[in-house]
Chains A and B, each alone.
Chain A
Amino acid sequence: MDQKEIIRRRLKRILPTVQKPGRYFGGELNAVVKEWQSVAVHMALVFPDIYDLGLPNLGIMILYELMNQRQDVLCERAYAPWLDMEKAMRENDIPLYSLESLHPLSEFDIVGFTLPYETLYTNALNVLDLARIPLKSADRIVGHPLVIAGGHAAYNPEPMAQFIDAFVIGEGEEVLPELVDCYKTWKSSNVSREELLLKLSQIQGVYVPSLYQPAYDSAGHLTSLAPTRETVPPRILKRIAAVLPPPPTHFIVPSIGVVHNRIAIEIMRGCTRGCRFCHAGFISRPVRERTVDQIVETVEKALDATGYEEIALLSLSSSDYTHINELVSAISSRFAGKNLTISLPSLRIDSFSVDLMENLRGVRQGGFTLAPEAATDRMRSIINKPIQSSQLLETAEAIYSRGWQTIKLYFMIGHPSETLEDVAAIGDLCRAVLNVGHKVIGKRASLHVGVSTFVPKPHTPFQWVPCDDPDKVIAKQAVLWEKLKGPGIKLVWSNPKETMLEAVLTRGDRRVGDAILKAWQMGAKFDAWQDQYRYETWLKAFEQSGFDPAFYAYRERDVAELLPWDHISPGVSRHYLEREYRKSQTPETTPDCRTNCYGCGILPAFSDERRENPGDLWLCPEV
């Protein structure tokens, strides 16, 4: 009996004993099952959290469809099992397997993680352990899979550098095919694994951390992170798709309910707004748009392939999509009367957005979500999101008066130089919004307020600023609670202890990897789950690794300091980030860059791509 059959038989017995067993058995519509022997390269894509969250992940879906279009590649999926299933797997000697063919992950050639956020790091280690793949890159030999990772958190790869053989920096659609070609050539040759890693490091957008050596000064600051070989590039520029490729249409449709049961289409990538706290806004430049025709055609094909009843048109700022009116009218006329729900997140705060939503309203309606982020003009100038309070109130009035009873508002506390007065203003503004609601529709009006704590991110103008420590955060949350308690308002905030972990991991260096390993060894996993997060365990792990989390989370960096991610380039220049940082201190805003280029560095970094693709699919000027 082969491994796969053994796994199948054991699963038959344990699955009836766990919660939601449908997570662990595959067999979904549009899952691609190829003959194992028919391909040269076997790849497993892993979202290191449970199936329910991982299945709808658009990044995985894009790469899954792309890779499976190749004749020579088979691409399957795995997710992190929930605690009950992990226990059953360990007790019954079942290694982590792929859902399509039930092959153990260790039998794949390439195991690729998506790391969209940092609190998945311990889960990634747990997945490797369950798959019986050595956790550290240095311990893997020929016969072990090549372990790669990409995603937004990979823009600071250092905390996970010990565990990942190669990082993909930038857009996977561009890099992954080349990486697979390189692997295929290596597999058919008879050379060492070191040789493979060296070859991979020659691909633009691939970072092989084992080929770089960090050095620190006596105060613990990074002084260099240099290649150990001459042929290895000192700096890794991300890869981008100059023209966005056709979006996926054959979405995997789960046979059980998951968090998002829908077709998701990116209508554009990148954002021209330049909000200074926003990681995605800086790393996903330049702004590239899809055509209305391509989007409508994709919706049509995806509906036929999936039968889904919901469509999400995704982008970082939907109202900024150049042809948004045309798109919305095309979608609503084309798909009207089919009991479809169409969602358009990330709308600007103006009445135009209300018109858009009204045109899209399907049979089911939820709340209307807006993200002012801050409530005073000073704060808004600092973060570069200059909205007028009057504009928010006018928009709220339009929303309530056109039939919505609930508005959701997102704010952040902990922005640089924020005072308790700035925080109190959030409370006052929320009250004012609800008062508008009461005037328009009476007591039915309600308000959901989400207040997260700002965590400074790499590659943003705030990469040098300290994160608020738990005492400050608790004091600010108390102000909000005082202002917002009572009927009609629901307030949700983030746990300051969880914020601490995110703040350490996101701007950590290679040494932070020791603490990740220790925390996992002491039982930390599912750190993104409030009920699973183990603060004490992490504190112990930091202590045993010999560092103070404050060094990473609460310390203001000097702009001259070498940052652990300075060798990774998202195209936006460090010089530009410094300039934006200084402007935030004045404070001075930088307008939307679609009207005037402020020289963020994208154009010089990708001038060839822009020259080869003139016209208005990019929102950058021509070169």
Chain B
Amino acid sequence: MQRIRIHFTKGEELQFTGHLDLHKIWERTFRRAHLSLAYSQGFHPQPRIQLACALPLGFTSTAEMADVWLDNDAPLDEIAVILKSTAQPGLKIHSLESIPIYEIPLQNRVTSVIYQLDFLDPVDKNQIEEKINSLLAKDQIQRERRGKTYDLRSLVESAQLLDDADRLHIRLQLAARPGATGRPEEFLEELGIDPFSVDVQRIEIVLAPLVQKDVRA
């Protein structure tokens, strides 16, 4: 058995495909590739696939990660070639990485994620910049989500308005820890920007460094 980490893009075609459906898509990609995934034991065996961090519906990402367990020990470069040929529209495989079988689950290492927010309509650069700065200047921003209050400010790790290549966008780093997950739409609402007027792409998933206890022999 071997464990492989896949770095991939979830493109436009899959932006409305949820977390569980993405599991299925990976399962089928491996089936088409004739690469046999390891299955869990028990009455309802499930293929062993772990996605790093659920991507909200409607967003695309160039920086997704999934760990899969394979029954056989084929070389990584061969697996990469086959997977690329069986991947479906919207799924682009960047690279594969070999991971020790008992390393801690991928999702337990996620600490934050970085989004790039592109405006669909022309906007006033100075005005947005000011709004971001005043949001960042606050110590606390109390908001409500499903009847529970939380502090949005502590979830925003960084936010910058950038203007590369004439494309005005926000680079937003949000916490993504258990019980502390920031959402781009809540950040936008706080700025007074319609969340549906922005195209959201995840560009990085930040992992905590491995420490000794994370790797069992």
User: In the complex, which of the residues B16, B18, B44, B197 has the most CB atoms of chain A within 10 Å of its own CB atom?
Assistant: B16
Alpha-carbon gap, A339 to B44, bound state (A)? 10
Determine whether B27 belongs to the interface, using a CB cutoff of 8 Å to chain A: yes
Determine whether A306 belongs to the interface, using a CB cutoff of 8 Å to chain B: yes
A22/B199 in contact, CB under 8 A: no
Determine whether B12 belongs to the interface, using a CB cutoff of 8 Å to chain A: yes
Q: Which residues of A contact B197 (CB under 8 A)?
A: 13
Q: Which residues of B contact A13 (CB under 8 A)?
A: 120, 196-197
Q: Which residues of A contact B58 (CB under 8 A)?
A: 15-16, 21
Determine whether A367 belongs to the interface, using a CB cutoff of 8 Å to chain B: no
Q: Which of A249-257, A384-392, A394-402, A596-604 contacts B (4 or more CB under 8 A)?
A: A249-257
Alpha-carbon gap, A364 to B44, bound state (A)? 7
Determine whether A363 belongs to the interface, using a CB cutoff of 8 Å to chain B: yes
* Interface residue count on the B side (C-beta < 8 Å): 33
- Min CB distance A100 to B, Å, is 11
Chain A residue at minimum C-beta to C-beta distance from B15:
A25
Contact of B16 among A15, A261, A305, A364 (CB under 8 A): A15
Alpha-carbon gap, A22 to B29, bound state (A)? 19
- Min CB distance B200 to A, Å, is 9
Determine whether A608 belongs to the interface, using a CB cutoff of 8 Å to chain B: no
B12/A21 in contact, CB under 8 A: no
Contact of A306 among B28, B45, B89, B90 (CB under 8 A): B28
A257/B21 in contact, CB under 8 A: yes
B57/A253 in contact, CB under 8 A: no
Determine whether B32 belongs to the interface, using a CB cutoff of 8 Å to chain A: yes
Q: Which residues of B contact A339 (CB under 8 A)?
A: 39, 45, 47
A256/B57 in contact, CB under 8 A: no
A27/B199 in contact, CB under 8 A: no
Alpha-carbon gap, A158 to B108, bound state (A)? 62
Contact of B196 among A16, A28, A256 (CB under 8 A): A16
Chain A interface residue bracket vs B = 20 to 34
Contact of B32 among A17, A20, A304 (CB under 8 A): A304
Q: Which residues of A contact B120 (CB under 8 A)?
A: 9, 12-13
Chain A residue at minimum C-beta to C-beta distance from B20:
A257
Contact of A255 among B17, B30, B34 (CB under 8 A): B17
Q: Which residues of A contact B196 (CB under 8 A)?
A: 13, 16-17
Alpha-carbon gap, A52 to B59, bound state (A)? 22
Chain A residue at minimum C-beta to C-beta distance from B185:
A16
Q: Which residues of B contact A303 (CB under 8 A)?
A: 31-32
B32/A307 in contact, CB under 8 A: yes
Determine whether A478 belongs to the interface, using a CB cutoff of 8 Å to chain B: no
Determine whether B14 belongs to the interface, using a CB cutoff of 8 Å to chain A: yes
Q: Mark B27-67, 1 if CB is under 8 A from A, else 0.
A: 11111101000010000110100000000011000000000
B28/A309 in contact, CB under 8 A: yes
Alpha-carbon gap, A22 to B21, bound state (A)? 11
- Min CB distance A366 to B, Å, is 12
Chain A residue at minimum C-beta to C-beta distance from B88:
A29
Chain A residue at minimum C-beta to C-beta distance from B47:
A339
Contact of A27 among B13, B24, B30, B39 (CB under 8 A): B13
A307/B30 in contact, CB under 8 A: yes
Contact of B89 among A9, A20, A29 (CB under 8 A): A29
B21/A253 in contact, CB under 8 A: no
B12/A27 in contact, CB under 8 A: yes
Alpha-carbon gap, A27 to B17, bound state (A)? 11
Alpha-carbon gap, A347 to B16, bound state (A)? 38
Chain A residue at minimum C-beta to C-beta distance from B56:
A16
A255/B25 in contact, CB under 8 A: yes
Decide yes or no: A306 and B25 within 8 Å by CB, A256-B17, A256-B18, A363-B45 being known contacts: no
Alpha-carbon gap, A13 to B28, bound state (A)? 30
Q: Which residues of B contact A15 (CB under 8 A)?
A: 16, 58
Chain B residue at minimum C-beta to C-beta distance from A31:
B89
Contact of B90 among A16, A27, A253, A308 (CB under 8 A): A27
Contact of A22 among B16, B30, B39, B89 (CB under 8 A): B16
Contact of B57 among A21, A306, A308 (CB under 8 A): A21
Determine whether B86 belongs to the interface, using a CB cutoff of 8 Å to chain A: yes
- Min CB distance A251 to B, Å, is 11
User: In the complex, which of the residues B29, B34, B89 has the most CB atoms of chain A within 10 Å of its own CB atom?
Assistant: B89
Alpha-carbon gap, A339 to B47, bound state (A)? 9
Alpha-carbon gap, A9 to B120, bound state (A)? 9
A25/B31 in contact, CB under 8 A: no
- Min CB distance A21 to B, Å, is 4
- Min CB distance B25 to A, Å, is 6
Chain A residue at minimum C-beta to C-beta distance from B17:
A255
Q: Mark B86-115, 1 if CB is under 8 A from A, else 0.
A: 101110000000000000000000000000
- Min CB distance A20 to B, Å, is 8
Decide yes or no: A255 and B31 within 8 Å by CB, A16-B57, A363-B45 being known contacts: no
- Min CB distance A336 to B, Å, is 13
Decide yes or no: A255 and B90 within 8 Å by CB, A12-B199, A27-B12, A306-B28 being known contacts: yes
Alpha-carbon gap, A256 to B197, bound state (A)? 25
Q: Which of A349-368 contact B (CB under 8 A)?
A: 363-364
Interface residues of B (CB under 8 A from A): 12-18, 20-21, 24-25, 27-32, 34, 39, 44-45, 47, 57-58, 86, 88-90, 120, 195-197, 199
28 A-B interface contacts by CB (under 8 A)? A9-B120, A13-B120, A13-B196, A15-B58, A16-B57, A16-B195, A16-B196, A21-B16, A22-B17, A22-B21, A25-B13, A25-B16, A26-B13, A27-B12, A28-B88, A29-B88, A31-B89, A253-B28, A253-B88, A255-B14, A255-B21, A305-B32, A306-B28, A307-B29, A308-B28, A309-B28, A309-B31, A363-B44
Q: What are the nearest 10 A-B pairs in CB distance? A: A307-B28, A27-B13, A22-B16, A307-B31, A29-B88, A307-B32, A21-B16, A16-B58, A255-B17, A27-B89
Q: Contacts A307-B27, A309-B27 known; list 17 others, CB within 8 Å.
A: A9-B120, A12-B199, A15-B16, A16-B196, A20-B16, A22-B16, A22-B17, A22-B18, A29-B28, A29-B88, A29-B89, A255-B13, A255-B90, A304-B34, A309-B31, A339-B39, A339-B45
